[in-house]
Amino acid sequence: MSQQYNALSQVCATCKYWGGRRDLKQYGDYVELDSPMDTGSCYSRDSGWFNGSPVQASNCCRCWEKWSALR
């Protein structure tokens, strides 16, 4: 079952630093993933996740910045 996050959701799936697979939907209103358990790398050097470990799409941290593809 897929998971959707709107542009205001401050989770990794909507963050510009998250490197996981996500699909942009509804002209940039939200992203869709296969599962909230999907993982990707975090590319923010200020994040506690920046150690090469996979980060789940549903995680959040203080370094969140909205992905520019979202409106």
Q: Write the pLDDT tens digit of every residue in 50-62.
A: 777 899 999 999 9
The position carrying tokens 């975090």 is: 42
Distance separating alpha carbons of residues 9 and 65, to the nearest angstrom: 10
Enter the pTM of the model: 0.92
Q: Is 25 helix (H, G, I), strand (E, B) or coil?
A: strand
Integer CA distances (angstroms), 53 to 40, 47, 69, in order = 8, 12, 24
Q: What pLDDT, on the 0 to 100 scale, is given for residue 10? A: 98
Instruction: Give pLDDT tens digits for 5-63.
Output: 999 999 999 999 999 999 999 999 999 999 999 999 999 999 888 777 899 999 999 99
Q: What pLDDT, on the 0 to 100 scale, is given for residue 22? A: 98
Q: What pLDDT, on the 0 to 100 scale, is given for residue 48? A: 83
Is the CB of residue 31 less than 8 Å from the CB of residue 12? no
